[in-house]
Chains A and B, each alone.
Chain A
Amino acid sequence: MHPILAHPGRLLPYLAACTPLIAILTALFARPGGLFLGEAIALAVPLTFAYAFMGLSAWYPCRQFPLNRSRALPLVLAHAAAAGLLSAMWVVFAALLAGTLGLLPVFTGLQARFGTQAIALFAAGVLLYLLAAALNYVLVALEAAAEAERREAELAVLAREAELAALKAQIRPHFLFNSLNSISALATTDPPRARQMCVRLGDFLRRSLALGEKTSISVGEELELSRAYLAVEELRFGSRLEVEEELDERGQTCLVPPLLLQPLVENAVRHGIATRVEGGIVRLGVACGAGRLRILIENPYDPESPPRPGSGRGLVNVRQRLTARYGEEALFAAKRLADRYLVVISVPVEMPA
């Protein structure tokens, strides 16, 4: 629907702004050799308001053919056709009106006299159409700007929600309770390891909590958090869990949203290593080149083990946060191969100032 008609509050000011047209039309009709003044006014008033509404229909060709994205020829043709059609309709309406008014004794002979005005009226209609098109292009632009603003606000809300969800999901109760149980077990069988586990768990929790207020951290810091997590899991899974890192120096200084890697590493353990009797290796790769930062996380999984609930949400969350931050510049791919799971992230390089 047209933005002026969609908001009743806008209609009256719009019609008020159209009233000068009454004077212009009256002057046009009443020029020497034309109509009497009374006839001119009687025609100008209804014709003005009729055009006020007809002109709004320019909205559709304007929206269909945006100035910045349309080829010149179709744009000109569309508007020429619309101008011709609208003006012709206006002239026909005026002729009918003149015929009707001519039936009144006061306006006898109006119909015949109007015949001389038709061409001038048509020309006025075409000029008015250009004005209407200009007005509608302004409205289209305003509407697009409002829409862009709304989308941006929406994205900002989405980004914040995703951050919050990531922080909440960060410390999964499952992980915490299992770790406490391991500490409880080690307390009798291997007290030094129990203490070590307390230290590592404390380290991990402290790092997680410190991330709450940040919007960006370096890949290096993110790796530290993942290592703190893996250090706890190593005590739990023993020799089943191994980690291999292939990192490039520059890549580690790049900035990323916090908690990008850690949920993926956690998935690699929970849905990968933990499903295999013999365990396996989680591979972490970070590389930087050609303006892009690439992160790779790879883990084996057992296709014959029962699927575990809860992997989808972590992936969706990471994907959302990447989109919120980098838009279409972010690339995120999660691939389930025959016995390996692969996550690849590629984003534009962002260096600390």
Chain B
Amino acid sequence: MSGGAEKGGAGVAGVLIVDDEEPARSILREHLEGLPGVRVVGECANGFDALKSAVELSPQIVFLDIEMPKLDGFEVLELLDPAIAPVFVTAYDEYAVRAFEVHAVDYVLKPFDPSRIALAVGRARERIARGPAMRAGELHAAARPGGAFLARVVVRDGSRVHIIPVERLDAIEAQDDYVGLKSGGKTYLKPQTLSSLAEALDPGRFVRVHRSHLVRLDAIARLEALAGGSHVAILADGTRVPVSREGYTRLKDLLC
């Protein structure tokens, strides 16, 4: 095929395909291999494999299915190197599609239209040139189906992936561009804003007790008053979390 890469120096883009259905992977490969300047570097059938392959095969673009075993597409994206441009793949999911549109993340619908796939690859190349723009955590929060709250939070710790069910997430602290997730006496750092995470968690279980602290209600063992009207929440494991005046009012509203 002629035409080559539209942009000078774009080179060959490595693409990783992640979908748990074999027929879906094979047709995606077929369409992608027909495009100039694209090389399919691998196929994965679940979220864990996708993370491993992303490190080993260093693709520039990943085509990501949403519903998969182990980790879903949004969770994979949160853990993936942000330099990799994602293109979501979905059959029908009104919430996710709306979230993609809001956050300007590209997606292709099943059954695949080859020209739409070509367009997605073109856009992904432009995004690689611009550098990462989208925040995966915020996208995930926005893609929740109506009324559903996160059941678990994923976080990467070196090469290990931790999955923290919300019932084991004790407190969350904002630290610059990161949030510190406290669970079972350990703290895990994740690049996300506290507000976007707070929005995706059940407000009946997690309380913003301070501008930069979120606490799970059941994790609080007791409250201590400090001089000057502020308080401190003491968690079951002894962690002390500052509680502002507004936070204290919010806590009281929920507890009474």
How far does the Cβ of A345 sit from chain B's closest Cβ, in whole Å? 27
CB nearest to B74 among chain A residues: A306
A188, B31: Cα distance in complex, Å: 11
A182-B93 in contact given A276-B69, A302-B70, A305-B69 (Cβ < 8 Å): no
A274, B68: Cα distance in complex, Å: 7
* Chain B residues whose CB sits within 8 angstroms of the CB of A275 once the complex forms: 69
**How many residues belonging to A are interface residues under a CB distance threshold of 8 Å?**
29
CB nearest to A188 among chain B residues: B30
CB nearest to A189 among chain B residues: B26
Task: Say whether B23 contacts A182, CB under 8 Å.
Answer: yes
* Chain B residues whose CB sits within 8 angstroms of the CB of A186 once the complex forms: 23
* Chain A residues whose CB sits within 8 angstroms of the CB of B70 once the complex forms: 277, 302, 304-305
Task: Say whether A277 contacts B46, CB under 8 Å.
Answer: yes
Partner of A184, one of B20, B72, B112: B112
Partner of B92, one of A177, A185, A235, A309: A177
A105, B46: Cα distance in complex, Å: 105
Task: Say whether B110 contacts A181, CB under 8 Å.
Answer: yes
Q: Cβ of A237 < 8 Å from any Cβ of B?
A: yes
Interface bracket on B: 20 to 34
Q: Cβ of B67 < 8 Å from any Cβ of A?
A: yes
Q: Cβ of B75 < 8 Å from any Cβ of A?
A: yes
How far does the Cβ of B27 sit from chain A's closest Cβ, in whole Å? 3
* Chain A residues whose CB sits within 8 angstroms of the CB of B21 once the complex forms: 178, 182, 236-237
A277-B69 in contact given A180-B111, A181-B91, A237-B21 (Cβ < 8 Å): yes
How far does the Cβ of B231 sit from chain A's closest Cβ, in whole Å? 35
How far does the Cβ of B163 sit from chain A's closest Cβ, in whole Å? 7
Among all A-B residue pairs, the 5 with the closest Cβ atoms: A185-B27, A181-B110, A177-B91, A185-B23, A181-B111
Q: Which of B145-153, B179-187, B203-211, B216-224 lies at the binding interface?
A: B145-153
Q: Cβ of B55 < 8 Å from any Cβ of A?
A: no
Task: Say whether A277 contacts B72, CB under 8 Å.
Answer: no
A178-B110 in contact given A277-B45, A302-B70, A306-B75 (Cβ < 8 Å): yes
A302-B69 in contact given A181-B91, A274-B20 (Cβ < 8 Å): yes
